[in-house]
Structure 1
Amino acid sequence: MFQALIEPLQYGFMQRSLVIAILVGLLCAVVGSYLMVQRLALLGDAISHSVLPGLAIAFMLGANIFVGAFIAGVFSTMAIAWIRTRSPIKEDAAMGIVFSAFFALGITLITVIQKDNKIDLNHFLFGNILGVTVDEVRDTAIIAAVVLIVVVLIYKELLFYTFDPLGAQAAGLPVNRLNFGLMLLIALTIVASMKAVGVILVLSLLITPGATAYLLVKRLHQVMILGAVIGVFSSISGMYLSYFYNLPSGPAIVLVVSGLFLLALLFSPKHGVLIPSVNQK
C-alpha cells in the first residue's frame, strides 16, 4: 500500500501535479464557500467560461495567458455589473448573457488559432494537470498565496457582507468594493485552476467541496476548513486514480469530489436523505 502511494512521486511531472492539485483544492474550497453561501454558483460558472477569450487573445499576442485570462475574467464581472445597474435585467440573466457571449467568443478565437497553429488549446477547457511546468506551479502558488492572504485580512467584512449585505451597507461597509473584490478573488481562483481541471470543470471544485462541508458543519469558517480538506483530498485522490487507471485527471478529481458530496447528502447526521429519524427531530 505504502509502495503504491510513493510510486508516482518518483516522477517530476507527478510531483508538480500533486502540488498544483493541493493548491487548487485548497483555494477553490475557500473562495467557493462564499459563492455557495451567497447562492451565486452561476457567477462562478460565468467567470470561468468568460476567461477563454482572454487566454486566446494573450496567446495570439505572445503574452502570458494567465494575465489574459484574468483580465477577461475581470472584464466579464464589470460587464455583468454594468448590465445589472444600467438596465432592468436581473443579475442571473446578465450572468447568462455575458457567460454565453464570452464563451462563444473564446471558442471561436481558439478555433481560429488552431487553424494556423498546430497547438492544442483544448486542455484549457478540460484541464491538463499532468503537463504543468515549474513556472506554472510558481504562478499558481503566488496566486493562491495572494488570494488566501486577502481572504484572511478581510474575513470579517466578507462574512458580514455575505450573510447580511443590507446590514453591512447600513453599517458603513463598502459593499460595492467587497462585491467587486470577491469577484476578483473568484477570477484569480479560476485562473489558478485552469491548468488543473479546465474552465468547464472548475465550477465543481468551486462549489462542491463547500456544499459538502455545508451538509456537515454550520459556521462559515468551519465550512471553509472542512471544504479545504475535502478539496485537497479529492484533488490528490483524483491524481492517483488518474495515474493508476489512466483516467483524465480533471474529470477524475471532479468525480471524487462529487462522490464525497453524494455520501454527505445521503448520510449527513443532520441533513442526510437516508437518516430520516434525525431529520424529523
Structure 2
Amino acid sequence: MDIFFTSLIEPLTKMYFLKALIGGSIVAVVCAVAGCLVILQRMAFLGDALSHAMIAGVGAGYLFMKVFFGIEAAAGAMLVGSLIAAMITVFMIGFVAKVSRIKEDTSIGIMYTGIFAAGVVLVSVFSKYIHIDIVHFIMGDILGISDTDMIVSSIVSATVLSVIILFFRYFKLTSFDPVMAASIGVPVLFFKYLFTGCVSLIVVSAVSMVGVILVVGLLITPAATAYLLTDRLEKMMALAALFGFTSILGGLYLSLWMNSAGGGAIMLFATVQFLAVLIFAPRYGMLADMLRSRRAVPQQLTEDIIGSVFKSNGEITLQSLTGYVEAGKKQFKNALNRLTADGLIINKGETISLTEKGKAEALRLKKAHRVWETYLHHMGVPSDQLHEQAHVLEHYNDADAIQYIYEQMGSPVTDPHGAVIPDIYADGSFCLTQMFGFSGNKVVVVTIDTDKGIKPGDIVKVSQDDEGFVVEKDGQTIELTQKEAASLTVKLPDNL
C-alpha cells in the first residue's frame, strides 16, 4: 500500500511531470471542448488532415528562417507556416468539393495526404537546411515540454475557448441545424470557417508539444466518450474536458509505471476510458442496449396475442393463449405486461380479455391481414400461400398505407376466401356494421345520415338485436334503419 501511495505522490514532486501535466491538460481541455463541435459537425477527419498537413508549414517556416535569416528552429516562423498550411488545406478541401462531384470526405483524404507528402518531400530535399525529427513530429514528447510551448498553447487555448464561449449559441445552432440557421439569417459559412480556424490554431499550437497522433486523439476521443453519456452540448463539453484531463493524468502515470512514451500512454488510457464508458454508459452503453433488447417486446408478438384473443371472442385462457403464440416464457410475460400497460388487454391471471381499445386494434390487424391477402391474390400468389404470407405482411400495418392499398383495389368487401374485410379507417373509425364485439359499449359518432337527433361527436351506446341496430343517447333509445346503420361510422372515446 505504501509503495502504491508513493508511486502516486512522488511524480507530483518532479518538475518535468508537473509541466507535462499542466501543459497537457491545457491542450486536452481545449481539444476536448472543441472536439464536441468537431463530432457534431462530422469534422473528425479534418483534425487529422490539419495535423498531418502541418509538416509542410513547419518545413517551409524552418526553411524560410534558415535561408533568409540564418536562424534554426524559429518557433514563431514554424507556427505561422503551420497555420498557413492548415488554412491552405481547408481552402483546398472546400474548393475541390465545391467545383467537382467529389464529396468533402474524399476531398479531405486527397488534399491532406497530398500536402503531407509535399511537406515530407520538402524536408527530405532540403535536409541539410531543415533539421526536423519526423518521428518527434508524429509522436511528440509531452514529457519534454518547453516553456515556449506552454506559453503558446496557453494563449491559443484561451483565445479558442473565448471564441467558443462568445459565439456558443451560433456554433450550437449551425452544428445541429445549419439549414434552419441559414433560414433565420445566421452566416453559416462564416461560423464554419471561424470554427475551422479555431481547430487549426489548436492543432498548430499543440502538435509541437504532443505530436500529431496525440492531438488528433485528444480532439476526438474525450469528446466521443462524453457523447455516450449525455444529449446536452453544454454537459457534453464539461464531461469532455474532464475526460481530457483524466486522459493526461492517467496516461502520464501509465508512461512512468510502464516506462513508455508519454503520447502513446495517454492515448492508450483515453481509449481504455472510452471503451469502459462504451460498455457501462447507463443509456447508450453496450450493457444498457443488451438489457433493453432483452426487455424489448417484438411488435409481431403483441399483435399475435391480440389477434389470438380476438379470434376467441375477446377472451381466452392463458393456457390456450400460450398454445397459439410461440414465444419464450419471459418474452411472453413482457408482452402481456406491455399490452396491459397500453390498455389493450385485461390480464386476470388465468384469463386474458381485450379492452374496447384492444378490440379496435384487433379489427385494424384483421383488416391489414385481409387486405394483404386480397393484394397478394391480385398479384398472382397461389391461394394456399396467401394466409402464410399475409400473416408476415400484416405486421406492416401502417393505417394510411393499408387504407391506400384498400382503396386502390376498389375497397373490396371480402378477401379471396370470402371473409368480410373490416371497414376500419386510418383515423381509427369503423362502420357500425363491423362492430363485432362492441355491442353495448360507448362510442363516438364520426359520421351518420339521419334526422333522429344523432350527430357527429355524440357519445352513444350502440347495441344490436334481431331487428337491427339500436342507439342509446342521453337515456333515449333510437332505432336505426338499415340505411342509417350503413351510414354510421364510430370510433372509441380517447379515454378508453
- TM interval, shorter chain, is over 0.9
d(CA) in 1 for partners of 2:228 and 2:190? 30
Deviation at 1:148, TM superposition (A): 0.4
C-alpha deviations, 1:196-243, integer Å up to 9, x for none?
Answer: 431134222111111111111111111111011001110121112222
d(CA) in 2 for partners of 1:32 and 1:113? 35
Deviation at 1:114, TM superposition (A): 4.0
Amino acid across the alignment from 1:112: V
State whether structure 2 residue 27 is matched by structure 1 residue 24: yes
More helix by share: 1
SS at match of 1:274: helix
Deviation at 1:278, TM superposition (A): 3.7
State whether structure 2 residue 279 is matched by structure 1 residue 266: yes
Equivalent residue for 2:37? Answer: 34
Equivalent residue for 1:206? Answer: 219
SS at match of 2:122: helix
Question: Which has more radius of gyration?
Answer: 2
Unaligned 5+ runs, structure 1: none
State whether structure 2 residue 57 is matched by structure 1 residue 44: no
d(CA) in 1 for partners of 2:101 and 2:131? 45
Q: Is the 8 A contact 2:54 2:83 kept in 1?
A: yes
What is the TM-score with the length of structure 2 in the denominator?
0.54
SS at match of 1:269: coil
Equivalent residue for 1:139? Answer: 152
Query: What are the equivalent positions in structure 2 for 1:118-157 lying under 5 Å apart?
Result: 120-157=133-170
State whether structure 2 residue 202 is matched by structure 1 residue 189: yes
Equivalent residue for 1:179? Answer: 192
Stretch deviating more after TM superposition (210-219 or 7-16): 7-16
User: Cα distance 1:24–1:163, how it changes in 2: closer, same or farther (>3 A)?
Assistant: same
SS at match of 1:77: helix
Equivalent residue for 1:167? Answer: 180
C-alpha deviations, 1:79-116, integer Å up to 9, x for none?
Answer: 11122222222111111111110111122223335455
Q: Select 1:277's aligned residue among 261, 285, 291.
A: 291
State whether structure 2 residue 96 is matched by structure 1 residue 83: yes
What is the TM-score with the length of structure 1 in the denominator?
0.94
Runs of 4 or more above 3 Å deviation: 112-119, 278-281
Stretch deviating more after TM superposition (106-115 or 153-162): 106-115
Q: Is the 8 A contact 1:215 1:264 kept in 2?
A: yes
SS at match of 2:231: coil
Q: Is the 8 A contact 2:63 2:129 kept in 1?
A: no
d(CA) in 2 for partners of 1:241 and 1:113? 38
Unaligned 5+ runs, structure 2: 66-73, 297-496
Q: Is the 8 A contact 2:250 2:269 kept in 1?
A: yes
SS at match of 1:122: helix
Aligned length: 281
Query: What are the equivalent positions in structure 2 for 1:38-77 lying under 5 Å apart?
Result: 38-62=41-65, 63=74, 64=76, 65-77=78-90
SS at match of 1:88: coil
Q: Select 2:250's aligned residue among 237, 249, 254.
A: 237
d(CA) in 1 for partners of 2:159 and 2:283? 35
C-alpha deviations, 1:98-145, integer Å up to 9, x for none?
Answer: 111011112222333545566524211111112211111111100100
d(CA) in 1 for partners of 2:130 and 2:115? 22
Q: Is the 8 A contact 1:270 1:278 kept in 2?
A: no
Equivalent residue for 2:468? Answer: none
C-alpha deviations, 1:153-173, integer Å up to 9, x for none?
Answer: 000000000000011111101
User: Cα distance 1:10–1:121, how it changes in 2: closer, same or farther (>3 A)?
Assistant: farther
d(CA) in 2 for partners of 1:277 and 1:168? 38
User: Cα distance 1:236–1:110, how it changes in 2: closer, same or farther (>3 A)?
Assistant: farther
d(CA) in 1 for partners of 2:118 and 2:16? 32
Q: Select 1:6's aligned residue among 6, 9, 12.
A: 9
Equivalent residue for 1:92? Answer: 105
User: Cα distance 1:148–1:117, how it changes in 2: closer, same or farther (>3 A)?
Assistant: closer
Q: Is the 8 A contact 1:50 1:72 kept in 2?
A: yes
d(CA) in 1 for partners of 2:211 and 2:124? 17
SS at match of 1:149: helix
Amino acid across the alignment from 1:29: A
More strand by share: 2
Deviation at 1:8, TM superposition (A): 2.2
Query: What are the equivalent positions in structure 2 for 1:214-253 lying under 5 Å apart?
Result: 214-253=227-266
d(CA) in 2 for partners of 1:192 and 1:222? 26
Percent same amino acid at aligned positions? 37
